[in-house]
Amino acid sequence: MTKPAAREPQRRNSRSNRARILAAARQELAFHPDTTLEEIARAAGVVRRTVYGHFPGRTALLDALAEEAARSLAAAVRAAGAAGGPGEAADRALARFVLTIWPVGDRYRMLISLARRDLGHERIAEVLAPAREATGAVLARGQAAGLFRTRVPAPVLAAALEALTLSLLESVGRGAWKDDGRATAVTALMAVGVPAERAESEVRALAETPGALGAHGDGT
């Protein structure tokens, strides 16, 4: 009988292969959405059979990336909340939130276009749910404090900001413009009624203060 200790190297190798496949998929699909599993296998340095051993098809691979993105986004949401604390002003909290989640959105932006075709809107809605809920809470707090416009209910406004952020990420993906999250954070603040000068000041203060955004893992 094979001892459990003898199987552990195989498990580690399997986990390593899976991580390499997902990393290669993120890289390849970001630039070439129609990349095949065979091409991803080559990029990952494994044979095609290894890819199919982990992911029986393209949809399964994309769903694994979506799950990875969901964990990363949830970690970023927690990091933003922990870094700011419950007493942080809503405009500063919204700026912090956008800046903290931007790297996650940038990393997985290829899912935005692929999801509509391969995974469907409901799956992506699941991925984005933690961010949408956190945004809605910040917006409701800001509206109650008189910092944000109140004509649009917070949940609806949160959905609008989500669409805006996704659109800007798509623009970055197409090479239409460049952003590290700062311009998007300023735009989000202005969209909810924060004057431009204050929006720029809040974002600048956060972006230029070491450790102000906290740290989060990738959730993998």
Q: Could you read off the pLDDT of 70-120 as tens digits, one per residue?
A: 999 999 999 999 998 888 999 999 999 999 999 999 988 887 778 777 888
Query: Phi/psi at 191 (nearest 5 deg)?
Result: -65, -25
DSSP 182: H
pLDDT of residue 203: 97
The tens place of each residue's pLDDT in the chain, 220 residues long, gives 455 555 666 677 888 999 999 999 998 988 888 899 999 999 999 999 999 999 999 999 999 999 999 999 999 999 999 998 888 999 999 999 999 999 999 988 887 778 777 888 888 888 889 999 999 999 999 999 999 999 999 999 999 999 999 899 989 988 899 999 999 999 999 999 999 999 999 999 999 887 667 555 444 4
pLDDT of residue 215: 56
pTM, entire model: 0.84
Report the residue count for the chain.
Answer: 220
The pLDDT tens digits of the residues spanning 65-75 come to 999 999 999 99
What rounded mean pLDDT belongs to the chain? 88
Pairs from 82-91 (Cβ < 8 Å, separation ≥ 24):
82/214, 83/212, 83/213, 83/214, 89/145, 89/147, 90/138, 90/139, 90/141, 90/142, 90/145, 90/147, 90/148, 91/142, 91/147, 91/148, 91/189, 91/194, 91/198, 91/199, 91/202
Distance in angstroms (rounded) separating the CA atoms of residues 85 and 201? 20
User: Longest Cα pair distance anywhere in the chain, in angstroms?
Assistant: 71
SS3 call for 44: helix
